[in-house]
Amino acid sequence: MLTKHEKELIAKIWDKMIPVASDIGAECLLRMMTTFPGTKTYFAHLDIRPGSPHLRSHGKKIVLAIAECSKDISSMMVTLAPLQTLHAYKLRIDPCNFKLLCHCILVTLAAHMGDEFDPVAHAAMDKYLSAFAAVLAEKYR
Ligand code: ZNH
């Protein structure tokens, strides 16, 4: 479980990412699709070349969803309900992919935050993203 301090830290970090959501989000997606090429199959209908408008706009949506949820982490189950349904029933994303994207999000944050991404921030963010991914994966049964 996340402590109050960890929740505040996570919200603060994501708040800083909002103005650069397209950059950060596009990098997370590009890292995911490069490192785990199987994930590209879900984006066959989009232009996913580095820097493409699709990659940037989709990346932005993902970052904004994660940032919005971080403002009130205890309500995650409610906030994420629409995304849960979308990913499970409509997009049918294999839930193992959530872990892959979360890994790439951690790496992207580390690359952008430098020293600010210290072990405490890393551990807190890992817990948050794992919880997020678990909620997204919950509707599959
Ligand atoms: Zn996802 C979509 C988020 C993961 C795939 N997504 C989406 C959106 C959002 C998201 C916000 C939009 C919606 C609307 O529009 O309404 N995701 C998200 C998050 C995460 C995710 C937050 C985590 C963390 N996804 C994911 C993965 C994958 C995906 C892992 C694969 C691999 N998504 C997707 C798709 C889509 C989405 C395919 C659709 C796109 C288009 O546009 O078409």
Side-chain half-sphere CA neighbours of 24 within 13 A:
27
Residue 92: CB atoms within 10 Å: 9
The pLDDT score that the predictor gives to residue 141 is 62
CA distance 133 to 101: 9
The pLDDT score that the predictor gives to residue 140 is 76
pTM summary value: 0.97
Tokens encoding 120: 């405490």
pLDDT tens for the chain, 141 residues long, are: 899 999 999 999 999 999 999 999 999 999 999 999 999 999 999 999 999 999 999 999 999 999 999 999 999 999 999 999 999 999 999 999 999 999 999 999 999 999 999 999 999 999 999 999 999 998 876
- 87 C-alpha to ligand 1 centroid (Å): 7
- 62 C-alpha to ligand 1 centroid (Å): 6
Write out residues with Cβ below 6 Å of ligand 1. Answer: 39, 42-43, 58, 61-62, 65-66, 83, 86-87, 91, 93, 97-98, 101-102, 132-133, 136
Instruction: Give the burial class of 141: count Cβ atoms within 10 A of its Cβ; 0-12 exposed, 13-18 middle, 19 or more buried.
Output: exposed
